[in-house]
Amino acid sequence: MDTIEKNLIAQVADIHKVPEGAYNIRSNGELAGRNTTANIDIVTKEDKPGIDIIVKPGTKNESVHIPVVLSMSGLKDMVYNDFYIGEGSDVTIVAGCGIHNCGIDTSEHDGVHTFYIKKDAKVKYIEKHYGEGDGTGKRILNPTTIINIEEGGYMEMDSVQIKGVDSTKRDTKAYLSDGATLVIHEKIMTHGLQTAETNFEVDLDGKSSSANVVSRSVAKENSKQVFNSKINGNNECNGHTECDAIIMDNASVSAIPQLTANNIDAALIHEAAIGKIAGEQLIKLMTLGLTEAEAEEQIVNGFLK
Amino acid sequence: MLELQNVSYQVNDKSDKSNDKEILKNINLNINEHLVVITGPNGGGKSTLAKIIAGIIKPISGKIILDGEDITNMSITERANKGISFAFQQPVRFKGLTVIDMIRLSAGKDMTISEACDYLSEVGLCAKNYINREINASLSGGEMKRIEIAMVLARGTKFSIFDEPEAGIDLWSFQNLIQVFEKMYKTIKGSILIISHQERILNIADRIIVLADGQVTSEGSREEVMPNLIKSDIACPTLLDKII
């Protein structure tokens, strides 16, 4: 792997050497490294591109890294990854995609990740998207995440896209059984002419299931963002969705929360706020000696921290 | 230290000129003492004066001189870097920025947690409970005020302005606040300007300035100003008529 690819891996998976535990590194559409452990198996799919990640029941405190990097301009990559998380296990999964495009053709990675989280299993899923390269070719990432959580299962999903992705459409669909919990934190920053569309849809099917979907975003320059968040309460359940966005320059942000209660004991809340950086925040930081540009940077970095 | 020469400020009503309001009328002040307190009725122009010194608003005429240098046309940032600090009457909240972020930004350098904690302890906050808290709506008004004061302490500049530091601080903490200013008084190599209505704060002032209706109506040592201030009747005469 060359320096560009190593840098992409560091950006999306926060790893600088060979990761500990199980991993699968996909580079320019091909397998570039894999490790399995006694409890976590990774198997290449035979019918379509992608892998199955199989975590044995009861596996505790193990991690799986599955970064994808694209450094060839004009490559269109599509994968299907399925995660089978065994009963009572507790694992961390770090996925992510980095694109370096210095050519003129569009580079695109579309991934469909499907989670089957068994009874009482716990997953922390971290997904980072990053683009770089000074070519005119577009960098496009379209992740789809499908989440099935069985009784008492728990999933926390942190999704981050801070830089360099020209266009993204992110679809996440979740189905929760009795006592299952889903927590999603999304952070997005767009600039230039970038567009980002997020679609969350959560079905709270089980009794005492709960979901908390929180998005924080910053839209700069001429970029456009759309945030759709649907929660359907089909049983006695708790659902909360929140979108908080800072808008700058000539950007555009739409927040469209949608709640549907199909059960009298469904308790659903949505909050959405879009606004520019408050003038008094800039003034406060300027009275500490920061320039207006430095103040703006501190506010944006803090907001997306 | 700081000199105001013929400073005036006016708010204009674009649709009706007869509604233009003069907020400050030809203010001349020279602040050289360690601790000066500005007091006076609400709407008298005190906060406006503080904002004019910090550069947040520009006067329509007059000059502001800091240590012999004309700073009238300097930005907020330039004035901050020249040594002016300003604790707001209503502290600003930030989603995501934490207490330690703000203390570090105030000090203008990276700082260990224990150094930052010293400033919080000084304003009576149990540092370990606060250092990683976000400066957001989860903090009460009184907690925000204390953090605001700790930020000015962390800056350690030569000219510090506090706009009603006592507002929102509970009675038990008030004694602690007085001690903060007493300690600053002893250690500072410059001047502190406090806008306040509290007799206890007026009592520690080297000089008291009374600002009413945009003008300095009296000034002098506390012995000179306090007796008149206490007996002066600045309440609305109509209201007094009703009560009596």
Residue A292 near chain B (CB below 8 Å)? yes
Residue B199 is assigned to a structural domain of this protein: yes
Say yes or no for a CB contact (<8 Å) between A288 and B80. yes
pLDDT at A240: 98
Mean predicted confidence (pLDDT) in B214-222: 92
Q: Residues B230, B202: contact at Cβ < 8 Å? A: no
In tens, the pLDDT along B74-129 reads 999 999 999 999 999 999 999 999 999 999 999 998 888 888 888 998 888 878 88
- Whether the pLDDT of residue B180 is over 90: the answer is no
Per DSSP bridges, beta strands B2-11 and B21-31 are antiparallel
pLDDT score at B230: 66
Averaged confidence pLDDT in chain B: 89
pLDDT of residue B71: 96
Amino acid identity, residue B178?
A: I
Query: 3-state DSSP call for residue B150?
Result: helix
Whether the per-residue pLDDT at B8 is higher than 80: the answer is yes
Written as one string, the DSSP assignment of A143-206 is EEEEEEE-TT-EEEEEEEEEE--SEEEEEEEEEE-TT-EEEEEEEEEE-TT-EEEEEEEEEE-S
Report percent pLDDT > 90 for chain B: 58
CA A152-A155-A157 angle, 5° bins: 165
Read off the tokens for B224.
């000179």
* Residue B242 scores a pLDDT above 70: no
Q: Beta partners for A149?
A: A117, A176
For residue A298, give the chain B residue with the closest CA.
Answer: B97
Tell me the CATH number at B52: 3.40.50.300
Domain span including residue B65: 2-92+151-243
Can you give the pLDDT at residue B25? 93
Q: What is the value of pTM for the model shown?
A: 0.85
Assess contact for A126 and A92: CB atoms under 8 A.
Answer: yes
Which parts of chain A sit beneath pLDDT 70? 1, 14-19
Question: B81 to chain A: which residues are within 8 Å by CB?
Answer: 289
Contact B77 A284 (CB under 8 A): no
Residue keyed to tokens 């260990």: B112
B67 within some domain:
yes
Instruction: Say whether pLDDT at B232 is over 60.
Output: no
* pLDDT given at position A190: 93
> Is residue B52 within 8 Å of B239, Cβ to Cβ?
no
Asked if A142 is an interface residue toward chain B (Cβ–Cβ < 8 A), one would say no
Per-residue tokens: A216: 């924080």
Whether A302 sits inside 8 A of B94 (CB atoms) is yes
Domain-located, residue B41: yes
- Give the total number of structural domains in chain B: 1
Q: Which residues of B touch A (CB under 8 A)?
A: 54, 56, 75-77, 80-81, 84-86, 88, 91-92, 94-98, 101, 105-106, 108, 151, 155
SS3 B132: coil
What ipTM describes this predicted complex?
A: 0.91
- On the question of pLDDT at B228 being above 90, the answer is no
Residue B104 lies in a domain: no
| Exposed / middle / buried, residue B19 (Cβ in 10 Å: 0-12, 13-18, 19+) | exposed
pLDDT reported for residue B239: 52
Is B112 inside a domain boundary?
no
Helix (H, G, I), strand (E, B) or coil at A8: helix
Q: Is the CB of residue A245 less than 8 Å from the CB of residue A237?
A: no
Instruction: Indicate whether B139 belongs to any domain.
Output: no
pLDDT at A116: 98
Residue B116 within any structural domain of the chain: no
Q: Say whether pLDDT at B233 is over 70.
A: no
